[in-house]
């Protein structure tokens, strides 16, 4: 199972939000590229990067910061946040991003997601962010008025092979994960699912690892890693 450390970028800095609230952000680094280097040196094999400004506005806002991260590491990177156009995807892939995460577009413009998957294959990932089972969009600010399981069930039909599922209520709370909900999303979609939101212990990772047969293939770690709640080497060992 893959462990992906998260680098969330707001105003050019590495931050973590609490339950997606932009007003509740903790700044961890003014230099996300240095954070990326440290994570690679610690053993990270894949980075999860989110342009929070882009997620909120619908336009990639931190592309130059993302480019510095690319130039600082030698491991794959996935990026999400504000990607609404085919040119956004092309630009990110051209500068060296390995996977592009489409979020709000999966709700508001499914034809775009389907076309992107057709054009770029496994380089396209769909992010489903949900609060109490209902999809949230626009940087989690608005309701997508759709059940997360219903959306997940459509993703495989779009030709997408991986979903990142975030439980907003648990994100940044260090309160553990809802493994059963994540497994339901995997079963509903029939595609691989990466868990996000609330991973706060090695035991959480073991629980996810135990459900690999359901389609859970990875976990994203954010605040727990930055706060020292999880030792990264222990997390990697638990995921083996």
Name the catalytic one among 51, 53, 88, 129: 129
Angstrom distance (rounded) from CA 240 to CA 236: 6
Helical residues (DSSP H) of the chain, grouped into ranges: 32-42, 52-57, 63-72, 86-94, 104-108, 110-120, 148-158, 179-189, 202-209, 223-226, 232-239
Q: Which of 8, 53, 88, 167 is catalytic?
A: 8
Return the SS3 of 72: helix
Annotation marks residue 8 as catalytic: yes
- Compute the half-sphere exposure of residue 157: CA atoms within 13 Å on the CB side of its CA: 9
Torsion angle (degrees, nearest 10) of CA 53, 56, 61, 65: 40
- DSSP-derived letter for residue 170 is G
Query: Which residues participate in catalysis according to the annotation?
Result: 8, 129
């Amino acid at each position: 199972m893959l462990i992906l450390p998260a680098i969330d970028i707001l105003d050019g800095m590495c931050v973590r939000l609490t339950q997606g609230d932009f007003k509740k952000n903790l700044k961890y680094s003014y230099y996300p590229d240095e954070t990326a280097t440290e994570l690679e040196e610690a053993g990270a094999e894949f980075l999860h990067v989110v342009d929070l400004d882009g997620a909120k506005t619908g336009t990639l806002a931190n592309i130059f910061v993302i480019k510095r991260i690319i130039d600082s590491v030698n491991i794959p990177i996935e990026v999400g946040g504000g990607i609404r156009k085919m040119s956004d995807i092309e630009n990110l892939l051209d500068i060296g991003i390995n996977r592009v995460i489409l979020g709000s577009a999966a709700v508001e413009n499914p034809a775009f997601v389907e076309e992107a998957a057709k054009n770029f294959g496994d380089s396209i990932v769909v992010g489903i962010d949900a609060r109490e089972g209902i999809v949230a969009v626009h940087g989690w600010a608005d309701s997508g008025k759709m059940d997360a399981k219903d959306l997940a069930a459509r993703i495989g039909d779009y030709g997408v092979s991986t979903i990142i599922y975030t439980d907003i209520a648990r994100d940044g709370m260090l309160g553990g994960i809802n493994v059963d909900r994540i497994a339901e999303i995997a079963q509903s979609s029939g595609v691989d699912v990466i868990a996000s939101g609330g991973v706060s212990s090695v035991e959480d990772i073991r629980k996810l690892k135990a459900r690999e047969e359901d389609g859970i293939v990875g976990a994203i770690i954010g605040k727990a890693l930055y706060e020292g709640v999880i030792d990264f080497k222990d997390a990697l060992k638990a995921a083996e």
